Amino acid sequence: MTNRNLTILGIVAVCMVALAVVLSGVSGRPKTAPDTPTYLIQGLDTTDIGSIVVGTGQDTAQLKRQGRGFVLANKDDYPAEIKEINDLITKCLDIQTSQFVTDNPANHKDLEVTEEKARSVVKFFKGDSSLLTGVIVGKNTEQGQGSYVRQANSDKVYVALEVPWLKGRALDYVDQALILAKREDIESVTVISPTGQYVLKPKQDGQGAVLENIPQGKKLKDSDSNRVLIALTDLRLTDVKKKSSDISPRLSAGEPRPVAGAKEFDRQYVCRLKDLTIYTINIAQKDSKTYITCQAGFAGERPTTISKTESEQELKEKEAKLLADDKAKEFTAKHQAWIYEIADWKAKDLTAELSDLLEDVKQEKPEQIKQGEKKPDEKENVEQKPQGTE
């Protein structure tokens, strides 16, 4: 064998050794397991989101970006709670898949990952209304561990061991609390209806209510009157719509004022707080539903000047008045454009007639004389024996 052949064989041998080293290195690397958890949605830039649709059917939440926040497009653009929006996005981005199932759309129906059968549907759209991404949550797996999921813009279906609950109603994304007054802050409540008005005040001990000018022979029903007194400690909406020409308050500042062609807001609930804040709720009832409008005012005089000679206590009192006035104006600005629907049980407390809160004072029956007992006015005759006799 010539030197040339030996050289060629040497080169080939070196190459084979090098290749063997490379192959051994590759084979020694840990392989990525197909069931390793990965995020269903990756690389979503939330600033690209122009609108969000949550749920299916009539009661969807149709959220669209407006300025720095979102509004509910299917509720007359009522402001949405940014906290709820952030929570929704976070929950969708936190979904992790543990197993690939199928990419055949023919299987989607059986796995309930179609929009018609899905348990939860969330779709994120760009500003031009094109689909960005989304989450579709189907049924639980046959083993009961995890749920079938897929992206809204993909046919691939995976198993996710943990899927958070995704709120699907429109009102889940608004602040349903209208007024949460504290009982200890309530000074008085005035209820006005077409039949008249009455005023309730809290008892000095903080338990129950008292009525001004209570009719003779009557007394307040403790439980019913107390519910009326504290009705604004938890006033929440069940639906909302924009004010229009066919719905407007009839009562203003406690005085009836008819509005032609409007639904009659012929009742009013006025709550005065100790800090001189006054909440006014105008109430209309139609077709077994109760609608309200809300406004707030400050009954005190807003401080306009501050003197260097004022004491710390005087400064605190002025600050409290400024805060109460600002809070009332902010409340009115937030709610003045809206009509709210409230629950029936809450409407009952806001519209209770005085006659419903009164009952007759029970006359105490005279004490019955037990058999064998002497009447109180009977004089007891006691025979006295003469002294010295047995």
Q: Where are the domains of the chain?
A: 38-173, 177-304+315-360
Give the H/E segment covering residue 14. Answer: helix 3-28
* pLDDT tens digit sequence for 66-88: 999 999 999 999 999 999 999 99
Q: Which residues contact 222 (CB under 8 A, 6 or more apart)?
A: 208, 209
Looking at per-residue pLDDT, the higher value among 69 and 387 belongs to 69
pLDDT for 43: 86
Mean pLDDT of 264-278: 95
pLDDT for 28: 36
Whole-angstrom distance, CA of residue 117 vs CA of residue 97: 20
pLDDT for 110: 97
* pLDDT tens digit sequence for 341-365: 999 999 999 999 999 999 998 876 6
Taking the CB of residue 120, how many other CB atoms lie within 10 A of it? 21
Whole-angstrom distance, CA of residue 116 vs CA of residue 113: 8
Whether the pLDDT of residue 255 is over 50: the answer is no
Whole-angstrom distance, CA of residue 220 vs CA of residue 21: 95
Average per-residue pLDDT in the chain?
Answer: 84
Spatial contact of 121 and 113, defined as CB atoms under 8 Å apart? no
pLDDT for 204: 86
Scan for tokens 């309730």, then name that residue.
Answer: 200
Whether the pLDDT of residue 23 is over 50: the answer is no
With 0-12 / 13-18 / 19 or more C-beta atoms within 10 angstroms meaning exposed / middle / buried, residue 348 is middle
Looking at per-residue pLDDT, the higher value among 26 and 295 belongs to 295
* pLDDT tens digit sequence for 116-126: 999 999 999 99
**CA distances for 97 relative to 107, 122, 156, 166, 373, angstroms:** 18, 17, 11, 17, 88
When pLDDT is cut at 50, 70 and 90, the band that residue 374 belongs to is low
